[in-house]
Amino acid sequence: MQNLILNDNIMLKPDLNLKKRLLKLFDNQYGVVVQVYDEIVHCIGMPNVKIGEIIIVQDHIAKRAYKGLVINISWNTVSCIFFTDTRTILPGMRTRRSSWPVSINLNSQTVGNIVDCLGYQLRNTVKVNNDSKNATIRLERPAPGITLRAPIFQPLHTGSILVDSLFPIGRGQRELILGDRQTGKTSIAINAIRTQKYDNLLKFFNKNLYCFYVAIGQKKSNITKLFYFLKKTDSLFYTSIVAASASEPASLQFLAPYAGCALAEYFRDRGHDTLVIYDDLSKQAVAYRQISLLLKRPPGREAYPGDIFYLHARLLERAAKMSQTFKGGSLTALPIVETLVGDISSYIPTNVISITDGQIFLDSVVFNKHYKPAVNIELSVSRVGSKAQLRFYRKISKKFKDALLKYYLQADQINLSDNKGEADNVVILGQRLYIIITHKNLMCIELQFFLMYLALSGYLNNYTLDQCNKIIKKLNLKYGENFDININFFKNIKF
């Protein structure tokens, strides 16, 4: 073996162990599949692989490569979950490390489209091209530290006067929406997306609030209907849908919330306001439980693994309002959790309640009384409170809340008292407030303020309940999106 000459003045002696070291490094990057069952692939080799890393299985016969995620490492095997059907992966196939964590690609077509957590556009199944204008975003990132955050002070309007006045949501907040099946949980979240188009505060600063709806374990037909509904209402130019349907593997349902959060963080770090809706996290927990039981991890309460709390905590802690030093963006999280027969003391609801900054509880009993949204006022709370309201809206919403709670809690006691005049006033005002808060259509924040002022000033007391309902409907049809009204409006209403 000849000496290695770098230039005229420097000469290196040959390294006899260089070939052995290269072979050892080569062997550290490769492994072999030894067992495949139930979407879990067990491999040997790759001693330096890390949890959360992407590995590649090459099928030379079908000339196809399969990507998987390392989910568990034991003393002699590496367990992986794959994003496609694992029945074509056979023992003896060779695996290779990629040294890259799981990530999602983003380009200009992501917003306004349906994508999955791997970067595929599901409308035409064309993968997002990885050119210089695209961005590759890691799904798992640490949450921003306390020094990077700022206090929450900007409101995120939902279009529901009940939520915006009693349980306001701020930009950067985590507000849980929970309730039984078919009680209107998704409707509140979708209305929050649609309302951003009518927000005059965003129009004044010429900004968009980017929304990301994460559909976990839902039917593909429902996801398609939602897509065309948002397209029909012209709400798709600032909205993206991250889908992991019920027919997808459990690995995709497990990773979908992190993909939606990663897309939102991309815009948040560039100074934009974002909203992420996780619909719903209970199905993600079921998918993770399935993976953990197949990995033979010890089950705990309700057969969930011991790290199920960390699964949701590391996701929801990434919601934040950033300080102006870091461009002042925000990420608001609206997780949705399904309950069984109104039991909010079960495992997953109590976990997410302890993580979030408040919850909106939708009660089936209230829903059956035809009150929509069916919000249980006694069990719902927003821990940010009036700090997330505009100044002109904050004062009147406090009076609105006091009058409504007085009708809820003290109407029966007043009816038993001797002061019948006060009882009649409370009942008359409460009935009109009920008409306002149970109105189904969206309302801009200015119209909400105007309706609360009409009710609290006693103007609506001069009309019957049917007449009040007609007034509110007329107002909403004409001024629900853009509020510009004069006093002659009431003279033109025919009862």
Q: DSSP string spanning 247-275?
A: TS-HHHHHHHHHHHHHHHHHHHTTT-EEE
Q: Give the pairing type, strands 40-45 and 30-37.
A: antiparallel
| Sign of the CA dihedral running 109, 115, 121, 122 | negative
- Name the one residue in this structure whose structure tokens are 């964590």: 101
Q: Could you give the count of Cα atoms lying within 13 Å of 316 in the half-sphere of its Cβ?
A: 26
Region label for 341, one of left (φ > 0), alpha (ψ between -120 and 50) or beta (otherwise): left
Residue 43 and residue 90 in contact, taking contact as beta carbons nearer than 8 Å: no
C-alpha to C-alpha distance for 154 and 467, rounded to whole angstroms? 35
Tell me which of 268, 314, 383, 391 is the catalytic residue.
383
Range 312-325 burial, b when 16+ CB lie within 10 A, else e: bebbbebbbbbeee
Residue 194 and residue 443 in contact, taking contact as beta carbons nearer than 8 Å: no
List alpha helices for 269-390, DSSP H: 281-294, 308-316, 347-355, 364-368
Range 227-257 burial, b when 16+ CB lie within 10 A, else e: beebeeeebbebbbbbbbbeebbbbbbbbbb
- Run of H or E including 124: none
Q: Give the pairing type, strands 239-244 and 209-216.
A: parallel
| Sign of the CA dihedral running 486, 492, 494, 495 | positive
- Run of H or E including 192: helix 185-195
**Which two three-digit tokens encode residue 343?**
């039991």
Tell me which residue of 188, 211, 202 sits closest to 155, measured CA to CA. Answer: 202
φ, ψ (nearest 5 deg) of residue 332: -100, 130
Work out the end-to-end distance of the chain between its first and last CA atoms, rounded to an integer number of angstroms.
104
Within 8 A by CB and 6+ apart from 326, the residues are 144, 148, 269
Within 8 A by CB and 6+ apart from 139, the residues are 101, 102, 103, 104, 117, 255, 258, 259, 261, 262
Tell me which residue of 334, 352, 330, 400 sits closest to 165, measured CA to CA. Answer: 400
| Known active-site residue 383 | yes
Residues with active-site annotation: 383
